[in-house]
Structure 1
């Protein structure tokens, strides 16, 4: 059956207007689902479900810890490895996709982080996918909120652990310490995660379904774009051919990828995922929230170390408020979505609070009080938490259950892609503003140390300066950081405006999928074919 003739299962009959728009926008036959009420009890969860869910939370914690543990240690790692010019790669290599702990050169460290990123990135996507396969759409946000809580704890303790290891032992332990947790998580998944799945007739048939051409174009083009963004202004000037060429190739390849997807039989990222205005808008919001989350985690330690003379450990402790409040706000948002079934107010509220927090961050300087910056972080945590747990259910509300896996993987990619930009864009702004303001510093040695991306790794050295040179350097950092937060404000405002594009669609309260735990005691699934037969 051609894609345009596919039968779409719409929201419950209580939202006929939404169902009609979904049918019109996707050019499909709308089949009303059985009438369901908010009072319908959730399906019972057995011991196997909870053991799997705990393992998922542990996996999320591990992935988040791996991603954030070097934030406070990065200046030290950069200096120890002699990688000042490659510091942006040291931080970003993880999100491009073991041996980092034993690295003795920047190239070896980056290679190790690439391997970690391959595992961590795949784990994040699979966590979301497994939750979606185990739970109906209406319940997903609450459980995703709990998983987010585990991820947020990892993000919360990662910088603290990294800072403590730098101060008390060695930054290399930041990578060795996760090995026992990896072993425990793997054991739990291997024993308890037994899922139903549709088996292909043969391995040959399964392998033939992979979109090799699309994946090759996609990975190559995205990598080319990231190389240009990461190296531009640091390794090579923005006007150099080494920056412009990969950028042009990357965007041209990205365009070719979407053209290829329109004609591919089983595409990697089907264009139908973005055919509805809600899924398209929320996907962009997902990117923006991911950018701003990484933006805060990346920039705040720099502020604490350069402006407030915080150590690597102290700067990890100083970003606790944003992470601590992201956990409960994400859980509250998930519970509210499960209760009321409406996601637009939660998205509006989140981006509004994010815009306010970015504005307040732009006012920070060396004289900002602890109470002030702590409250600014609390607001940012709330603003990030509200949309973070409610975006995937909103995207999947306008898609059939058959698109759960591919929509989840696309959602996870957009999120990971946003993390890269969330570290790269503020770095670009920061380095540009520092270079522009270097003339205000009298000491030529300090100017040389800060130029061409050196200001990030120099953050811990700022407070060793004295007199006029110290004040001039603090002013340069403050002005550059102010510009960075203005950039974050622009992203938050764009996200707020995108919420107006969303169309409310009721969230399904039953699970209609052939996947799930093998021993799960779920009600008998009503298939699309059954509904068509009943209508006939």
Structure 2
């Protein structure tokens, strides 16, 4: 999964940048229709899963309708708040604070409902009963923030400070995206061989902290090779955590709970991505307003500073001196603060990792689930 994510994450910015650079930005969305259609066809043809022999009305009764409603409403409220914050409305605006607070309270209400009311909970509270599992979910969350934030904002450095176009900035990000995949594969093999997950995860967090701190030393005149190397350090660390954080979540629970645990794990990772982009935008916004020349900012009346950042980038290469160097310096300094903030978030991940205990890894799977063809093949082998 991490290997596929790395390949997609590396090629996506280049494809998207190429389309945007040529003015075909609508195809950033249309292109996904073909991808999703192809994947749906592959799933329909090749993914033959076991199906429980339960009547449809019984299946419908086992859906946690109220729990689904609470979690969808809560996360939607938070997404709306984070999408508006600093872009359409200030962070202090009631239009941001009200949905954000209601969404967070809704998440706590969701956990309470799952624990004490729901007969068929989406997230059984037993998944969160051990400190090792809690540590795994927390590390997954912090790693998701760092991963998405760097992936999203690293191209801004190359475009604003190195005069790179959207496509070239995607290529410049290969140091990050194409180290995550091999690192995740190596980490999974090591964990399988040594049956230990804590030590690789500590190693991964240290690499992320060091890599982000080194990114925080880059200025507008730093060499590209330095940035590539620092990206690689972060990528190796994130690739390690990306795959290793499954184990503290799954090891403490019985295998029959793996489905619910992985569903919640994926939710936490996707939820973190919203915060990653928002944190990056907020830091960049606050720093740019302090660092960009005031006379230059007056050219963008009424706009938020996050919007200003993306409006300015295409024009930087054509700005007169010394204004061009001043703007490049402002972007580099703003991003330095962001990378240091991410080093701090990675530090929280390292602290959370200290809560883990060692649990033996499972050596079996839940035979009630899986692909139909696997069982058929196994039965044929046994019969032979």
TM-score bin, normalised by smaller chain? over 0.9
Q: Where does structure 2 lack aligned partners over 5 or more consecutive residues?
A: 380-384
1:520 is paired with a residue of what secondary structure? helix
| Aligned-residue offset at 1:383 | 0.8
**Structure 2 match to 1:233:** 86
| Aligned-residue offset at 1:175 | 3.0
Corresponding residue pairs, total: 376
CA distance in 1, matches of 2:137, 2:180: 20
**Structure 1 match to 2:382:** none
Contact 1:211–1:267 at 8 Å: present in 2 too? yes
Contact 1:321–1:374 at 8 Å: present in 2 too? yes
CA distance in 2, matches of 1:209, 1:397: 26
CA distance in 1, matches of 2:73, 2:31: 33
**Structure 2 match to 1:486:** 340
| Aligned-residue offset at 1:262 | 1.4
**Aligned counterpart in structure 2 of residue 365 of structure 1, from 191, 215, 219:** 219
| Aligned-residue offset at 1:441 | 3.4
**Structure 2 match to 1:216:** 69
Bigger CA drift: 204-213 or 453-462? 453-462
Residues 275-317 of structure 1, C-alpha deviation per residue, up to 9 Å, x if partnerless?
1111100100001111111011111011111111110111011
Please tell me whether residue 170 in structure 1 is matched to residue 24 in structure 2. yes
**Structure 2 match to 1:465:** 319
**Structure 1 match to 2:199:** 345
CA distance in 2, matches of 1:444, 1:479: 17
CA distance in 1, matches of 2:165, 2:279: 25
TM-score by length of 2: 0.92
Please tell me whether residue 498 in structure 1 is matched to residue 352 in structure 2. yes
Query: CA 1:488/1:495 → structure 2, altered by over 3 Å: closer, same or farther?
Result: same
1:157 is paired with a residue of what secondary structure? helix
Please tell me whether residue 282 in structure 1 is matched to residue 136 in structure 2. yes
Please tell me whether residue 418 in structure 1 is matched to residue 272 in structure 2. yes
1:365 is paired with a residue of what secondary structure? coil
Contact 1:347–1:387 at 8 Å: present in 2 too? yes
Contact 2:140–2:269 at 8 Å: present in 1 too? yes
Residues 364-414 of structure 1, C-alpha deviation per residue, up to 9 Å, x if partnerless?
121010110010111111011001112223311111122111111100100
CA distance in 1, matches of 2:139, 2:211: 17
CA distance in 1, matches of 2:297, 2:199: 53
Q: Where does structure 1 lack aligned partners over 5 or more consecutive residues?
A: 1-146, 525-536
Residues 240-286 of structure 1, C-alpha deviation per residue, up to 9 Å, x if partnerless?
21122112211222222121111211111122111111110010000
**Aligned counterpart in structure 1 of residue 183 of structure 2, from 329, 342, 350:** 329
CA distance in 2, matches of 1:451, 1:402: 49
For residues 41-190 of structure 1, what are the structure 2 equivalents within 5 Å?
Answer: 147-168=1-22, 170-190=24-44
**Structure 2 match to 1:297:** 151
Query: CA 1:396/1:464 → structure 2, altered by over 3 Å: closer, same or farther?
Result: same
CA distance in 2, matches of 1:444, 1:295: 25
**Structure 2 match to 1:65:** none
**Aligned counterpart in structure 2 of residue 374 of structure 1, from 228, 233, 239:** 228
| Aligned-residue offset at 1:491 | 0.7
Bigger CA drift: 313-322 or 247-256? 247-256
1:386 is paired with a residue of what secondary structure? helix
TM-score by length of 1: 0.67
Please tell me whether residue 510 in structure 1 is matched to residue 351 in structure 2. no
Contact 1:346–1:386 at 8 Å: present in 2 too? yes
2:322 is paired with a residue of what secondary structure? helix
Contact 2:77–2:103 at 8 Å: present in 1 too? yes
| Aligned-residue offset at 1:159 | 0.5
**Aligned counterpart in structure 2 of residue 205 of structure 1, from 34, 40, 58:** 58
| Aligned-residue offset at 1:178 | 4.0
CA distance in 2, matches of 1:407, 1:357: 30
CA distance in 2, matches of 1:316, 1:442: 31
**Structure 1 match to 2:165:** 311
CA distance in 2, matches of 1:516, 1:479: 51
1:516 is paired with a residue of what secondary structure? coil
